[in-house]
Structure 1
Amino acid sequence: MKHELIVRVVLQKPPGGVDFGLQKGSGHAYEPVQVQQARGQDIRFECPVTVKGDRQTDEKPGFSGSFVQGPPPEKFIYIDIGTYAGQRESIWGGRLKVPLRGISWDTIEEVILSSELVLETQVPGSAKDGSPACATVKPFGGWKINHLNA
């Protein structure tokens, strides 16, 4: 089985004046896309993810695509920050790693059966000191089904 679904990452209240982008590709060949500058409000990114596997034989679904990073089983999506997002004058530079874990076969099947649904996660955009949140999202609240137009 191979299906494509849309995932949405909502970055909650990232620090203003900093650019954030969704990382497409990996290594030196990556490019930040959907780049947005934070202005004190939530920002969101959407991208397609390919789901591979079979619920009968695979305990967990596999994920791939041009926005998916990392080795199995800990695949993730990167949000590029500051200089990594192409903002040359920024004092910030890094990535936020959004894990693709905790997504069940039941959830995937529900989303792929409707063109109106996406998988969504909401993650903090700022660290405790007010700087952009970098590294792996902690704590990670997981993925939930939402409407495409929500």
Structure 2
Amino acid sequence: MAEKLAVLGFRIVADEPVPGVAHSLQSKDGAPLDSKASRDGEALVFDFAVRVGHGPKFLGDQVRREGKGRRFVYIRVGQLAGDEKSPWSRRMKVDVHDIAAELLERAAASEGVVEITVPGTGKDGTPACATVPRVMTLSLAMGLEFVPAGRAESEERVEFAGRRNFGK
């Protein structure tokens, strides 16, 4: 029997990005997806769906892989986000492979959204890039508008094989 995967909402918040610089998710085919720029340094929010299975393992249009275990999501910046006139052409790498199984289980049980906040600006005052530090929280879906930019293979939330255990 094939493993059932939980479809969870994920949200990346780029906090205090450089005003006027385009940011986007990276689509399945490598193009910019949901490109937006901050006017005055307000946070940029990117919503997307991720299929999560035992291990945990992460699958989805925005999830990238590196080696056997590392999974991450790219936030494209400047030219890579579709702004050809930008002086920047970079990506932020937001790791998801090491999210605690307990947080994933709570998200699945409550239909919550796993929210990851990253700095939008680097220490040098330019747009953040490379692997960025994260703060993770669980936001309950009630009263929270969640509109995924990409979509998982199945758009409905499914039970995780009758259990809520994402641990190893």
Say yes or no: does 1:92 pair with 2:95. no
Report what 1:65 is aligned to: 60
Higher relative contact order (CA 8 A, sep 6+): 2
Say yes or no: does 1:118 pair with 2:113. yes
Report what 2:46 is aligned to: 45
3-state SS of paired residue (1:75): strand
The superposition leaves residues 82-105 of structure 1 with CA deviations (integer Å, 9 ceiling, x where unpaired) of: 110110111111100000033233
Give the aligned length. Answer: 138
- Per the normalisation by structure 2, the TM-score is 0.77
Report what 1:35 is aligned to: 35
Report what 2:79 is aligned to: 83
Root-mean-square deviation (Å): 1.5
Structure 1: how far apart are the matches of 2:140 and 2:35? 23
Structure 1: how far apart are the matches of 2:117 and 2:100? 18
Q: Runs in 1 of length 4+ with deviation above 4 angstroms?
A: none
8 Å contact 2:95–2:131 — kept in the other structure?
Answer: yes
Percent identity between matched residues is 34
8 Å contact 2:56–2:97 — kept in the other structure?
Answer: no
What are structure 2's unaligned runs of at least 5 residues? 146-168
